[in-house]
Structure 1
Amino acid sequence: MVTLTDRTQKRLTIETTEIALETTTIRSLDWDRDRFDIEFGLQNGTTYNSFVIRGEQTALVDTSHEKFRQLYLDTLKGVINPAEIDYLIISHTEPDHSGLVKDILQLAPQVTVVGSKVAIQFIEDFVHQPFERRIVKNGDHLDLGNGHELEFVIAPNLHWPDTMFTYDHKTQILFTCDAFGLHYCSDSTFDENLADIEADYRFYYECLMAPNARSVLSALKRMGELPEVTTIGTGHGPLLRHNVDELVNRYRQWSQAKAKAETSVVVFYISDYGYSDRLSQSLARGISKTGVGVEMIDLKSADPQEVQELVGRSAGLVIAMPPASGTVASAAQAAIGTVLAAAKDKQVIGLFESYGGDDEPVDPLLSKFRELGLAVGFPAIRIKTTPNEATYQLCEEAGTDLGQLLTRDRAIKQLKSLDAELEKALGRISGGLYIITAKKGEIKSAMLASWVSQASFEPLGLTIAVAKDRAIESLMQVGDRFVLNVLEEGNYQPLMKHFLKRFPPGADRFAGIKTQPAENGSPILVDALAYMECHVMSRMELSDHHVVYATVDTGRVSKPDALTAVHHRKVGNYY
């Protein structure tokens, strides 16, 4: 293994490792990155993985992020003479994997670029220069010689429309780019310690793959037609070798559960226009938190028949506004025309701007859907400045609002289905009254809680049950910090009433409330009886809640003689 470091940015390093016969990984380690495309909070940095396969001919699988340009190119030259690279395989074209394609083409103009049809189209728009290309379909082969026969698996929408896996029959390595990855930076090339990575693995799945659960299952089915896979060469994080079956099976289980959702929403976006893909990902995550299934379709490359079928079986539609002019506009507007033709009343619609500089206006399209009888799932999101953390949080909360609207009738039906005596008995379990407050970056959130209990002495720890569709849930991942504010008996009504309100997406939950910052940055409620600063250590997933276990770092009682407010319920099947 060889490691190089950028001396001007000491936390950017490069690692090269021989992972199999004639196969080298070049891993770009971004140790300090704490945000990924702004909306994706990271606890443990990330990596960008690239691979060199040397047979009689040589293939380079993916490149790296442009921030690693000099480090990566110097390292690549140490691994192989660029003039000897025959193929550049593009797993998918997001800049964190294809950011250096233009540089590779300058160093190695003889290279043939290999990718799906959509990927090659995107690369054409990106490099603006002639290049040799080879478009491959599912099941196509490329023989590099010396036994390195590559087979391609087309896996669209994981999480872009152009995604492709590459399987080397000699080494039994499957190169999957974003799929099965995680944002986790360490010196370990492989997944030796499952416990260290499983929380980040799940968080990555929920943010990027869960909105495309049906596409995940389709990709898994195609993977099942391959011979044995002994290693997964991921695009982010450690490569999977020690826990391949376990981690692939988790994708299968999680995706099967989401694909069985009774209600689904289709989110239409444009992968390479403005911030459409990132904003749509946040909206999709918010929807999926409510138990509603999500399917994401790129308007630029959408098949009309597929669009018609998806709209026909979906309860809700979310659309990113396309550009008003240009070739992308023509394709996107044709797809929207198909959506309008297939839409029907009793569906729910949500529209958002992409901030691409030439967005179609929202109101004319919204009026057309209203005329068709569609209900509005959330107020149209109009983005006038570059999206920031607050923008992505607004999108996630808007998605959650839409999902809750679609599941409202089902939730009411479930409430009525329990045995009345059981409801009353369960309701006799009482708890205190607390406000959970959290802040991460620019985002702040809060929720009223009563399912709180001390869970350990050493270290001092507690558990909190957090509903999956709560806005604060995304701020209570493993590694996050928050404040538990204890409400006072006889003096809790104003705070409880305030935080019980239904806040519109993006609203400031602390407007009009006296707060002061905790050491961990989260708001402390001045009128609370006591507070504790906490650090999330683990989460357990239940059907509709996460049970969060957190250690307590510090705390203070403001009124030593006062009592904690107690919450008594009449029934136990709803709050």
Structure 2
Amino acid sequence: MVALTERTQKRLTIQTREIAAETTAIRSLDWDRDRFDIEFGLQNGTTYNSFLIRGDRIALVDTSHEKFRQLYLDTLKGLIDPAQIDYLIISHTEPDHSGLVKDMLQLAPQVTVVGSKVAIQFIEDFVHQPFKRQIVKNGDKLDLGNGHEIEFVIAPNLHWPDTSFSYDRKTQILFTCDAFGMHYCSDSTFDEDLAAIEADYRFYYECLMAPNARSVLSALKRMGELPEIGTIATGHGPLLHHNVTELVDRYRKWSQAKAKSDTTVAVFYVSDYGYSDRISQAIAHGITKTDVAVEMFDLKFADPQEVQELVGRSAGLVIATPPASNSTAQAALGTVLAAAKEKQIVGIFECYGGDDEPIDPLSIKFTELGLKVAFPPIRIKDTPTEATYQLCEEAGTDLGQLLTRDRDIQQRKSIDNDLEKALGRISGGLYIITANKHGVKGAMLASWVSQASFQPLGITIAVAKDRAIESLMQVGDKFVLNVLEEGNYQLLMKHFLKRFPPGADRFAGVKTQTTENGSPILTDSLAYIECEVASRMECSDHWIVYSTVESGRVSKAEALTAVHHRKVGNYY
């Protein structure tokens, strides 16, 4: 039985559904949410999922975002008297899942809060009141009676340090919070339509899980010790039931590819301080686009030996300025400084937490140790905006490209000379892709462009994974294909070929107009075509982006498209 409230002006609704024996999903549907953490995509809103398990004793798994306070609490009271709830299982304490914990403790002061050691610490800092608690370790069990025995799987860094999974042996449901989720809002409780959700599933993985690929593999190994998993009850999006094996295997394949890199960057942050977690995630996402492995580490819960080992095996370090008053984080930072060595590269960012360690003295300490600066210190003076996250992602990509430069040169030299010349004879036109999404603009010079269909009219573009504009070309995004004119393309080509600093305005000094979809048109282009991304196919180091054509115009009917002839075919 599905019950939906009337949609409010902000289009917030609640869906409840029995998903197994004595198990109810309470799904908070946020239809219009167009921004979540660092993800630029999110064309389809999101959901915050909570679950009620009724054995002889009753457990609530996670709560919801505080924006759903009244809707959620009214719905919960309609299902059960909160005074009857025995346990509140906390999978993960980020506010979108634990935003109503304090409300629950007021409604149900008798409830025992169950979670990992780190989760309980976070809740203590959040609610500022006494509460019953039960700390669980990997393999611990909680017997609710009537066959509902809950086994806990500790899965840190997915994507916070406090994450745990909960497995109900009776229903074969694994509650995983952020892992295996997606920001996708629909009335469908389950994953019946794989084609509809797979782009969002992959994009969510790339943004939030790829920087923690090794932690994903550790969690998958622990999941393998459980009995059969029939349903994965995620914290965001539809629950996985029809495609569990397929979608879990995708996580494994993607994570194995990310983790196999012989180059690692350690990203040190403080998860519950300022914007440290979101900024670090944006930088980490940029790094992973270059096929460099990332290991994220919370300075607040750092073991000195683990910090020393991680720094020792890392080629690069990214460090958040920790709170000056937090002795644990400061001690961990001291361990990082003691273990850092020459030839490593380093990037430092502020957290906008109000008590940041001064960034300049910290930067000087690392340069005096002989480390090379990967990107200028990122100074956060206001609440981060879309442009801030773009700057952070591009800074991460620059760092990754710096680390992989020698490897890429060696790969270029390894290809057969005759073959590379033959490949170079495959010519293409010259185009500039331009996009604007929520005020974040991007541009890219392209020559791997081709018409791909008549019905509907469609084109394909090959976009390197480490291009900044790649984040603005997700399914549903709109952009413009600007066609360059033969004999009149040199200035535009020279401008867009240069290397831009992170966050720089690609269009400074360039004449532009604005299309209906908000993307810039280059005034000096021969023609332009407005497009919308329909699908993406992964091809090693590129994405093949298939897009439908919405409109276009030619400025000079007799002029010809500029043609790009390469000497070799194994690099641009």
TM-score where L is the length of structure 2: 0.99
- 1:371 lines up with 2:389 in the alignment: no
Contact 1:5 1:13 in 2 (8 A): yes
1:557 to 550, 554, 557: 554
In 2, distance between residues paired with 1:428 and 1:556?
Answer: 30
2:559 pairs with 1:568? no
> Do structure 1's residue 431 and structure 2's residue 428 form an aligned pair?
yes
Alpha-carbon shift at residue 10 of structure 1 (Å): 5.4
Partner residue in 1 for 2:219? 219
**Counterpart in the other structure of 1:26:** 26
- Shift of residue 414, structure 1, vs aligned partner: 0.5
Correspondence for 1:507: 504
Per the alignment, residue 544 of structure 1 pairs with: 541
CA drift of 1:364 comes to 1.1
- Indicate how the Cα distance of structure 1 residues 8 and 198 shifts in structure 2: closer, same or farther if over 3 A, else same: closer
Task: Report 1:173-192 matches (<5 A).
Answer: 173-192=173-192
Q: Distance in 1 between matches of 2:10 and 2:65?
A: 16
Task: Give how far 1:129 is off.
Answer: 0.5
Structure 1 counterpart of 2:415? 418
| Equivalent position amino acid for 2:165 in 1 | F
Residue ranges of structure 1 left out of the alignment (5+ in a row): none
SS in 2 for 1:160: coil
For residue 142 of structure 1, what is the aligned residue in structure 2? 142
Aligned-partner residue type, residue 90 of structure 2: I
Structure 2 counterpart of 1:574, which letter? Y
SS in 1 for 2:466: coil
- What is the correspondence of 1:237-248 to structure 2 with a 5 Å cutoff? 237-248=237-248
Match of 1:260 in 2: 260
Counterpart amino acid of residue 362 in structure 1: I
**DSSP-derived class of the 2:552 partner:** strand
C-alpha separation in 2, matches of 1:248 and 1:379: 38
Is 1:386 the counterpart of 2:358? The answer is no
Conserved in 2, the CA contact under 8 Å of 1:5 and 1:11?
no
- Match status 1:98 vs 2:95: no
Query: How far 1:526 moved relative to its partner?
Result: 0.4
User: How far apart, CA to CA, are the structure 2 residues paired with 1:10 and 1:333?
Assistant: 42
Amino acid at match of 1:121: Q
Q: Which amino acid aligns with 1:153?
A: V
The code of the aligned residue for 1:442 comes to: G
Length, aligned pairs only: 572
Corresponding position of 1:195: 195
Cα pair 2:38 2:282 within 8 Å, conserved: no
Task: Say which SS state the counterpart of residue 465 (structure 1) adopts.
Answer: strand
The equivalent residue for 2:296 is: 296
Partner SS state of residue 425, structure 1: helix
- Does the CA contact (< 8 Å) of 1:40 and 1:207 recur in 2? no
Change (3 A) 1:312 1:6: farther
Note the alpha carbon deviations across 1:305-346, whole angstroms, 9 max, x for none.
111111111100000001112xxx211111111111111111
The correspondence of residues 95-494 of structure 1 with structure 2, limited to 5 A, is 95-325=95-325, 329-494=326-491
Q: Which amino acid aligns with 2:60?
A: L
Give the superposed CA RMSD: 0.8
- The yes-or-no answer on 1:5 pairing with 2:5 is yes
Q: Which moved more, 1:565-574 or 1:355-364?
A: 355-364
Runs of 4+ in 1 over 2 A off after TM superposition: 1-10, 37-41
Which amino acid counterpart does residue 372 of structure 1 have in structure 2?
A: L
Native 8 Å contact 2:513 2:522 kept in 1: yes
> Structure 1 stretch 297-306 or stretch 529-538: which is displaced more?
297-306
- Cα 1:362–1:522 change in 2 (3 A) is same
Amino acid at match of 1:413: Q
Question: Counterparts of 2:331 and 2:7 in 1: how far apart (Å)?
Answer: 50
3-state SS of 2:300 partner = coil
Residue 478 of structure 1 aligns to a residue whose secondary structure is coil
**Conserved 8 A contact 2:45-2:183:** yes
Give the partner amino acid of 1:556.
R
**Cα offset, 1:242, TM superposition:** 0.2
Letter in 2 for 1:62: D
Equivalent residues of 2:39, 2:207 under 8 A apart: no
1:54 equivalent in alignment to 2:54:
yes
| Whole-Å separation in 2 of the counterparts to 1:499 and 1:67 | 42
Matched letter for residue 185 of structure 2: C
Partner of 2:408, secondary structure, is helix
Give the structure 2 partner of residue 44 of structure 1.
44
- The answer to whether the 8 A contact 1:38-1:388 is kept is no
Per the TM alignment, residue 354 of structure 1 is displaced from its structure 2 partner at its CA by 0.3
Equivalent position SS for 1:554: strand
One-letter code aligned to 1:44: N
Work out the CA distance in 2 between the residues paired with 1:15 and 1:495: 51
SS in 1 for 2:414: coil
How big is each residue's C-alpha offset from its partner over 1:435-465, in whole Å with a ceiling of 9 and x where there is no partner? Answer: 0000100100000000000000110000000
Residue-by-residue CA offset, 1:208-266 (whole Å, 9 max, x unaligned): 00000000000000000000000000000000000000000000000001110121101
C-alpha deviation, 1:83, in angstroms? 0.5
Q: CA deviation at 1:5?
A: 2.6
Q: CA 1:8–1:407 in 2, change beyond 3 Å: closer, same or farther?
A: same
Q: How big is each residue's C-alpha offset from its partner over 1:94-117, in whole Å with a ceiling of 9 and x where there is no partner?
A: 000000000000000000000000
Distance 1:403 1:519, change over 3 A: same
AA aligned to 1:285 is H
* Pairwise CA distance, 1:466: 0.2
Range with greater deviation from structure 2 (368-377 or 284-293): 368-377
Secondary structure at the counterpart of residue 528 of structure 2: strand
Q: CA deviation at 1:35?
A: 0.8
Please state how far the C-alpha of 1:39 moved relative to its aligned partner: 4.7
Q: Which amino acid aligns with 2:300?
A: K
| Of 390-399 and 331-340, the range deviating more from structure 2 | 331-340
1:502 CA displacement: 0.1
Contact 1:6 1:71 in 2 (8 A): no
| C-alpha contact (below 8 Å) 2:10/2:32 kept by paired residues | no
Distance 1:241 1:522 in 2: 39
- 1:116-154 CA-to-partner distances (Å, cap 9, x unmatched) read 000000000000000000000000000000000000000
8 Å contact from structure 1 (residues 321, 359) kept in 2:
yes
* Closer, same or farther: CA 543–407 of 1 in aligned 2, 3 Å: same
8 Å Cα contact 1:486-1:530 kept in structure 2: yes
User: Residues 88 and 114 of structure 2 are in contact (CA less than 8 Å); yes or no, is this contact kept in structure 1?
Assistant: yes
Aligned-pair CA distance for 1:3: 2.4
> Mind listing any 5+ residue stretches in structure 2 that lack a counterpart?
none
Match of 2:388, as an amino acid? T
CA spacing shift, 1:6–1:345, aligned 2, 3 Å: farther
Q: Contact 2:232/2:244 (CA < 8 Å) preserved in 1?
A: yes
Given residue 107 of structure 1, which amino acid in structure 2 is its aligned partner? L
What's the offset of the Cα at 1:40? 3.9
Contact 2:3–2:17, Cα closer than 8 Å, also in 1: no
- Output the CA distance in 2 between the equivalents of 1:14 and 1:241: 21
Instruction: Measure how far apart 1:368 and its partner are.
Output: 1.3
Q: Which residue is equivalent to 1:86?
A: 86
CA deviation after TM superposition for structure 1 residue 41, in Å: 3.2
